Amino acid sequence: MDFIKVIGFKKSFGTKQVHSGVNLSIQKGECLGLIGGSGAGKSVILRSLIGLEKPDEGRVVFDGKDITDYTEDELVNIRKRVAYVFQGGALFDSMNVYENLAYPLREHTKLGEPEISEKVLTKLKELGLEGNDKVYPAELSGGMQKRVGLARAIIMEPEVILYDEPTAGLDPFNTVKIQEMISRLKATGVTSILVTHDMPSAFAVCDRIAMLAKGKIGAVGTRAELDASPGGIIHKFINGEQL
Ligand SMILES: Nc1ncnc2c1ncn2[C@@H]1O[C@H](COP(=O)(O)OP(=O)(O)OP(=O)(O)O)[C@@H](O)[C@H]1O
Ligand SMILES: [Mg+2]
């Protein structure tokens, strides 16, 4: 069964139509890579999956429920199940790393400080960030900020993770760290969507890749399926050809 579904998604900003009928299905436990040129509308699709954007036309279905017209109150229960790893990291600058990670646990759980501390320090260790708990975001490198952002997103143990360019601008070491984390989470049964321009990461961790181009999904398939159509839109995109 399709776990998450986007059906006939259309959206314009001003006079510019960005999506002209996007259809996309994500299976439970799958990692789907979503690629496409800058401005193609990838982030808008991700945001729509947790109701931060609404389509002008079309539907968004989450775990069998049509959430398109959900109110903010109704969306709370969806958002609890989904982590969004923002393109920019979105850390709280006035809080140190420990407080950034503890924040969602304090807001949304009844855990006591010893359990919070254990969870936070474990997550930092998993992402190679041990010893950085007292540091403020501004003192961290971009790569470390991204890893802290990821740690904070997954600390609530979400069922679904939406990654918006988690490896953009990272060096190979940090890129591999993030890839490993995505793979490890997938192995625990997490369903994920990875928006990226980083094709090695997409091929390393995704079960299927979908490409958004000209307002629609231009192609979707496994690596083997895509390799079987070497003249296809995804190969053209990867090779930097005009689409
Ligand atoms: N809130 C908004 N108001 C006006 N225009 C918007 C808004 N959000 C997105 N857009 C426009 O919609 C288009 C798609 O934006 P989106 O951020 O989804 O692109 P993207 O595929 O994620 O690009 P990138 O790879 O650069 O992150 C862009 O042209 C953008 O300017
Ligand atoms: Mg984007």
For residues 171, 93, 121, 204, the Cα torsion angle rounded to the nearest 10 degrees is: -30
Identify the residue whose C-alpha is closest to ligand 1 atom 7. 13
- Residue-wise pLDDT for 27-73, tens only, equals 999 999 999 999 999 999 999 999 999 999 999 999 999 999 999 99
Residue 89 has pLDDT above 70, yes or no: no
Average pLDDT over residues 109-118: 94
Average pLDDT over residues 114-130: 92
Residues with CB under 5 A from ligand 2 (ion): 43
Q: According to the model, what pLDDT value does residue 186 have? A: 94
18 lines ligand 1 (CB under 6 A): yes
Q: According to the model, what pLDDT value does residue 242 have? A: 73
Would you say domain 28-54+69-81+159-243 falls under CATH 3.40.50.300? yes
Residue 154 has pLDDT above 80, yes or no: yes
43 lines ligand 1 (CB under 6 A): yes
What are the residue ranges of CATH 3.40.50.300 in the chain? 28-54+69-81+159-243
Residue 230 has pLDDT above 80, yes or no: no
Backbone angles phi, psi at 14, to 5 degrees: 60, -130
Identify the residue whose C-alpha is closest to ligand 1 atom 18. 41
Cβ contact 26:2 at 8 Å = yes
Question: pTM score, two decimals?
Answer: 0.92
Residue 128 has pLDDT above 90, yes or no: no
Backbone angles phi, psi at 151, to 5 degrees: -60, -45
Question: How far is the centre of ligand 2, averaged over its atoms, from the C-alpha of 117 (Å)?
Answer: 33
Q: According to the model, what pLDDT value does residue 4 have? A: 97
Which ligand is in closest contact with the Cα of 15?
A: 1
Q: According to the model, what pLDDT value does residue 40 have? A: 95
